[in-house]
Structure 1
Amino acid sequence: MAFENETISKASLADKNNPDLTDSDHNGLFLKYLSGVYLKFFDVLDLEVLNPIPPIECRLKLTGYPQGLPSWEVKGGIEALSSGRFWHKYDLVLKGFLDFYRTFFTLVSSGSTKVQKDAAFPDRIEDILLFSDQFHQAARMIRLQVIHDPMFANEIRWQPAYKQLLYRDDVGRLIVTISQNSVGNAITELLWLVVRRIPDAQAYSQAEPALVRQLLEVRDRLVDYNLGDPIATPSWPRGVFVPQ
């Protein structure tokens, strides 16, 4: 899904009370207490093709994204994506993210400072995260809120769910960022808009064939790379869309 900047700039502002834009203040907590220790945690990693960049420098003027989230510039731009070294370093960001949030929510839920056996960077967890007063302070704040507000506890994703995004900033740099998935969703977070959904069977039926053809093309590519097995359905019995 793509939106022209001109279209977005002319659109009315989203209602801040819209539930699709609610992040339960998780992002605010992160920015105030956890951003510094998060950057320090990643600073010791040798990412080579990913250069840490202050979020304010790669901020999209139109929407404010990445809203303060830690970000990295891809050295070499889009050409770097064809390099296996880039994807190896990209995976390190994800592994570090999972270590960070598993450690944080373990601290919130049980107060335990035991490093998980399957952690990718156990030494960094011990030396940087568990040694940080701010890290412990943020965990205590969430823990107290959970104790006093069971509904809040129900809103938290206790298992790390994530969005790892690649986007171009206003000057054309390719940027990597990653966030906990409870902070909005990909469209609302990146574009700061809520898509208006209006039931219209006739309009959908006109767009459906082209949409499904593109989805099937993506599926075929994944199958070619041995990333799944195709299945037949009444709407595409042999990989070809057949309107019902």
Structure 2
Amino acid sequence: MTTAYPRAVITPHRPIPIEIPAGVAPTEFYNSPCNLRHLTRENGLLRTDEGFLLYRKAIGHSNLFDTSIIFDTSTKVLDPMGRPVRRNQLTREENLTFSRMTNVVFQYMLEQYPDPDEYLVFCGEASLDATWPINKPGVPSIRMIHNHFMVFEKALVASSAPADADDPNLTDGGQNGLFLSFLSEVYLRFLEVLDLKVLRPISPDACKLSITGYPQGLPSWEVVGGAEQLKKGQFWKEYDMVLCGFLEFYRTFFNLVASGDTKIPDGVTYADQIEDILLYSDQFHQAARILRLQVIEDPMFANELRWQPAYKQLLYRDDTGRLIVTISQNSVGNAITELLGIVVNRIADEAAYAQVEGKLVAQLLELRSRLINFGLGKAIGTASWPSGRFVPPDQRK
């Protein structure tokens, strides 16, 4: 009897003391500059000169360790459709800062939670595609590029109830099934052409989590040399190459779905491979035809598609202690944790959250000090940590 199946983890949080104005959809409000100011004021930890914001997740996925870095352009770019949503839209300087911050946070998690038998350590970078309707239910709440860092106790995950196998977040709206059934082989073959030295392709089955059996069918790479490689520019160069390959595959496929156009997209890096591996593949054209017909016939399915490249790129530690990079298309509602087979059900429970909040915040403040020491931002004071230490709600003035 297998014990590898997706899990539904329950995570308590404190009720959020903020009211959404009448007549405004929640996702519309969460994307507003007003809410971003509130997020910074209540949970902001640190901000860099470029605008990267480190903050505590008020409604998090894990209460063991949980934080995010967001590229907060909410006051600089008022139009949410005009904000950067993918790493390839960052300047060299912005990308360098984002990569350095990611390395510092990830190294901190590995130091605090060194045993792969006990802890699942990972981060996931998401692009929030600008073609998503702002008030679409399930659309991620902050319309900017961000990286989410989490640690789960494996014992907690293992003891959690099975998740619904038909949960749309796990099935990726049906699109992942299409990729698995028709595009997996050509997708993996296309990404194999990347000239990688630090990242080594690894079978998706070899790096699945034993508790959940996820991720499923996604291209995966082992970080040869482990965590030390994250301190070097070559790793981040190759991390970008994986993203570039994914984006070009995605653009080529959805151009074919949208119009039957076999033109190679402008400005691509892998033009020869697009021609040779993708456009000459019968499976590639078959999958595009299936999707095209479904879009024409099924308006609900058509509304779920993201026509522009949207992705979730994960860096996680597998059961053997290897660091693994993987990447997936990003559909509505499909969260970072769900790519690893963990569905998080967050509930308002102030008493339960109070038991873990002090330790969680203490770690985040320690991490903040490390980032500041490395020249990566300036501290933000909030009511929760007015002078660099945690203050419980009942002790605040």
What TM-score comes out, normalization by structure 1 length?
0.84
CA contact (8 A) 2:221 2:325 kept: yes
Alignment of 1:80-99 (within 5 A): 80-99=229-248
Provide closer, same or farther for how the CA distance between residues 66 and 194 of structure 1 changes in structure 2, counting only shifts above 3 A: closer
2:337 counterpart (187, 210, 228) = 187
Contact 2:171-2:177 within 8 A present in 1 as well: no
Q: Distance in 2 between matches of 1:78 and 1:43?
A: 23
- For residues 139 and 34 of structure 1, the distance between their equivalents in structure 2, rounded to whole angstroms, comes to 10
Mark the CA change 1:207 to 1:137 in structure 2 (over 3 Å): closer, same or farther.
same
State whether structure 2 residue 348 is matched by structure 1 residue 199: yes
More strand as a share of residues: 2
Q: Which amino acid aligns with 1:121?
A: Y
1:162-191 deviations in whole A, cap 9, x for unaligned?
11111222222221111111283211221x
Give runs of aligned pairs for residues 34-113 of structure 1, distance below 5 A.
Answer: 34-113=183-262
Q: Does structure 1 residue 118 correspond to structure 2 residue 118? A: no
> How far did 1:88 drift?
0.7
Residue of structure 1 aligned with 2:159, choices 10, 25, 41: 10
Q: Secondary structure at the match of 2:347?
A: coil
What is the distance in 2 between the residues matched to 1:221 and 1:158? Answer: 40
Q: How many residues align?
A: 243
Residue segments in structure 1 that go unaligned for 5+ positions in a row: none
Question: What is the TM-score of this pair, normalised by structure 2?
Answer: 0.54
**How far off is 1:137 after superposition?**
0.7
- Find the aligned partners of 1:186 and 1:126 in 2 and give their Cα distance: 32
2:320 aligns with 171
The aligned counterpart of 2:54 is none
Q: Is the 8 A contact 1:69 1:177 kept in 2?
A: yes
State the percentage of identical aligned residues: 63
SS at match of 1:165: strand
Query: Greater helix share, 1 or 2?
Result: 1
**Separation in structure 1 between the aligned mates of residue 342 and residue 365 of structure 2, nearest angstrom:** 28
Q: Which has the higher contact order (CA 8 A, sep 6+)?
A: 2
C-alpha separation in 2, matches of 1:225 and 1:135: 46
- Deviation, structure 1 residue 51: 1.1
Distance, in Å, in 2 between the alignment partners of 1:223 and 1:139 is 48
CA distance in 2, matches of 1:5, 1:241: 27
Note the C-alpha offset of 1:82: 1.4
Distance 1:241-1:7 versus aligned 2 partners, 3 A rule: closer
Instruction: Provide the C-alpha distance between the structure 1 equivalents of 2:209 and 2:370, rounded to a whole number of angstroms.
Output: 31
